[in-house]
Amino acid sequence: MFECLFLEERVKENKYAMRILEAFPDVPVRDIRKVEDVFGRVKKPYLQKRTNLNLFIGRKEGNLVKEAPDAYGLDGEPHFYFIHAYNCIYECEYCYLQGYFNSPDLVFYVNHEEIVAEMHQTVKDNSDAKRVWFHAGEFSDSLALSHITKEWQIYWDFLESNPAAMMELRTKSVNIKSILQLKPLDNAVVSFSLSPGEALKSYDHKTPSLKGRLKALASLANSGFKVALHLDPIIDTETLDRDYRLLLQQITQVVKPDQIEYISLGVVRFTKDDYQQFKKNYPASKMQAAEFVTSFDNKVRYSRPHRLNILNRVRDICLDAGVDDSNVYLCMEN
């Protein structure tokens, strides 16, 4: 999978770093002082990930837990995300990571104890809130390589000692082995990003199939784990209503509506830099024909009347499938 592993000297004795190194015994290792000294210093094209991918292992500095943007999660509760990795092994045409970093190489940060300590402090700082949310997967997929990184036990320990904390692991992966080895918790949610089958084939490259994701969703739910869905990004088509009715049928065939903690709905969107990278990387994409505009938050996406029409139609389809209205929210929409 990787051509080279770049290892910070200060994490050589870190148990998580050693686990990762053990998983790739035949990959050359290069010692570095800090990840930032090498990662992204020279522009590396996003699509080079198809043939040339490196892995950096180091210690995250600065703010380890950050406040999430508005409309990032369910209303009325504080939301934060924590950073334990950069970039993803999958390749999706709409992915904002293609314009975010100067490199598609992966970074694993292994100072999980420090991240958890900051999460403890965040709960204390928000003691007036009934629940405090922590989201993983903002800059990476939470589960895609979790059988190698094996970090989730320490976060489960944190959740058990902090019942007011809620954690969401966002994923497109079917690699749920590391989660099934843990015990289900009332304050841990695994959420799957799903799109209709044809959209997955068109835009989600090198990702698990819809059938595979639904199987993983059902396996977790039936094992007692809390699950949620992100129907995001929604890409408008002439068959949108039919496609999402079929998708909700497929979902409710494997999990009951009351087993779904929440559903997030969001249309396809880009920052200006992401959009320029998308046009360069995927000139033949069907999304090239979309009528995008620059919206209130400088995101490039459908006009507000157009996207609200799309979102409300998909919301109605969710409600018709038996999902409670209070459990459906619009992502990144004020």
Contact 53, 5 (CB under 8 A): no
The count of other CB atoms within 10 Å of the CB of residue 155 is 22
C-alpha–C-alpha distance, residues 224 and 149, integer Å: 23
Q: Which residues of the chain have pLDDT under 70?
A: 334
The model's pTM is 0.95
C-alpha–C-alpha distance, residues 217 and 227, integer Å: 7
Give the model's pLDDT for residue 334. Answer: 65
The residues, any chain, with a CB within 8 Å of residue 4's CB and separated by 6 or more, are: 27, 28, 29, 30, 54, 55
